[in-house]
Amino acid sequence: MLTIAWDVDDVLNDLMRAWFEQEWLPGHPGCTLQYSSITENPPDRILGVARREYLESLDRFRLSSDARFLQPLPEVIDWFRQHGHLFRHMALTATPFRSAHLAAEWVIRHYGTWIRSFHFVPSVREDQPALPYDRTKEDFLRRCEKVDLFIDDNPTHIEAARRAGICALTMPRPWNREKQTINGMLNVLASLAGSSKG
């Protein structure tokens, strides 16, 4: 079986959309942007705010009950129900220390039938020191040696995985301009069942 490493936010769930609609827009009634306008991630330049203000807002949402009750992305949970048993799965996300335990709980609650391990690379925050190892997903993937496929929404992480010699597929989102649909990407993934590494 091939092993898939899944990013969590905006791959297994719809975090950016939920944050934007439930946290950002209510607090910024003058904002005329729509979710589809978020063509950069992080979106601080598009929002016209400092990076710190955006991160504080996102972190506040991550710690909220709204985030706890995020639902799995319907296309992805359906894919797992149909094809999840054909692969091994792990989660690999970038999230701040303060919310990592919540992300892990969310993953296991919704995807624990298939995803058996949770790994995170701490997102840098001013008040939390960075550890001297696995500062990026690429660092983790180079060290792990057990990942055959990597799914992420961030083009930088996709390129990093490929540099590490790992096949990577992009989850379509407004900020990565992936032309394939979510179901199209998942169909490609399903077609790899039974493949051998190499």
d(CA 149, CA 118): 16
171: alpha, beta or left, given left = phi > 0 and alpha = psi -120 to 50?
beta
Coil, strand, or helix at residue 145?
A: coil
Q: For residue 130, what pLDDT is reported?
A: 67
Neighbours of 100 (CB within 10 A): 19
Rounded distance between C-alpha atoms, residue 110 and residue 129, angstroms: 30
In terms of CATH, what superfamily is 3-14+71-191?
HAD superfamily/HAD-like (3.40.50.1000)
Q: Where are the beta strands (DSSP E) in 84-170?
A: 88-95, 115-122, 149-152, 167-170
Residue listed under structure tokens 């898939």: 4
pLDDT the model gives residue 143: 80
User: What is the pTM assigned to this prediction?
Assistant: 0.92
Say how far apart CA 193 and CA 86 lie, in whole Å. Answer: 6
Which of 26, 19, 28, 121 is closest to 62 using CA atoms? 19
pLDDT tens for the 198 residues of the chain, in order: 999 999 999 999 999 999 999 999 999 999 999 999 999 999 999 999 999 999 999 999 999 999 999 999 999 999 999 999 999 999 999 999 899 999 999 999 999 999 999 989 888 777 766 666 777 787 778 787 789 999 999 999 999 999 999 999 999 999 998 999 999 999 999 999 877 654
Alpha carbon dihedral 33, 74, 108, 17, in 10-degree steps, equals 0
Estimate the crossing angle of helix 137-144 against helix 155-163, to 10 degrees.
30
Look at residue 198 in the predicted model and tell me its pLDDT: 46
